Amino acid sequence: MAKQKQEVRTNAMRILDGMGISYSTQSYECKEFEDGGQVADGLGLPHEKVYKTLVCQGHSKGYYAFVIPIDMELDLKKAAKSVEEKSVEMIHVKDIKNVTGYIRGGCTSIGMKKNYPVRIDQSAKDLPDMYVSAGRIGCQINLKPEDLRNAAAAEWADLTKTKN
């Protein structure tokens, strides 16, 4: 009988375990980057419950993580205001691993290399649960929004552009 492959624990999972936060995971086959919509569709998840983590650098050169719905766009002015910066801009894809310790498509606000300020879009606040990357491509974490906020030491903020 073949041994069942044990799921690889990510840094984010170890942090949640250490904090006693309940979560579940969903894994999917993925050889390269897939956007949040592709991930949600592949797992059969409602788009409004799946969030992506975007990393920006502020005018002061500090880094910030913003967690927003996969179908929405980050409003850079709102993001800057939420972290009391003059302006913020997205970091280049090639810098994601160096800044966060995670790779594109596997970036999460829990357990980055450093404790950067994190803002979660206020749209998550009233959800019963949400999905974010588990810290590697091919795995999503499902947890309560308040638990994500606690684990990431985050604050709620209005972060997205208004749909026309």
Torsion of CA 7, 49, 160, 104, to 10 degrees: 20
Structural domain spans, the chain: 28-154
Q: What is the pLDDT of residue 105?
A: 85
Region 121-147: mean pLDDT is 95
| Long-range contacts, 26-33 (Cβ 8 Å, 24+) | 26/131, 26/139, 26/140, 26/142, 27/138, 27/139, 27/140, 28/138, 28/139, 28/140, 29/138, 30/105, 30/137, 30/138, 32/105, 32/137, 33/104, 33/105, 33/137
CA distance 160 to 111: 23
Report yes or no: 103 and 141 within 8 Å, Cβ to Cβ. no
Q: What is the mean pLDDT of the segment spanning 34-52?
A: 87
Among the ranges given (3-12, 17-26, 145-154), the one the predictor scored with the smallest mean pLDDT = 3-12
Element (H, E) at 150: helix 145-151
**CA separation for the pair 56, 82 (Å, rounded):** 12
Mean pLDDT of the chain, nearest integer: 91
The answer to whether the beta carbons of residues 93 and 104 sit under 8 Å apart is yes
Is the pTM higher than 0.85? The answer reads yes
Residues in Cβ contact with 20 at an 8 Å cutoff, skipping those fewer than 6 apart: none
The CATH classification number of 28-154 equals: 3.90.960.10
Size (the chain), residues: 164
Q: 15-38, pLDDT tens digit by residue?
A: 999 999 999 999 887 766 667 888
The mean pLDDT value for 123-131 works out to 97
Using pLDDT thresholds of 50, 70 and 90, give the confidence band for residue 125. Answer: very high
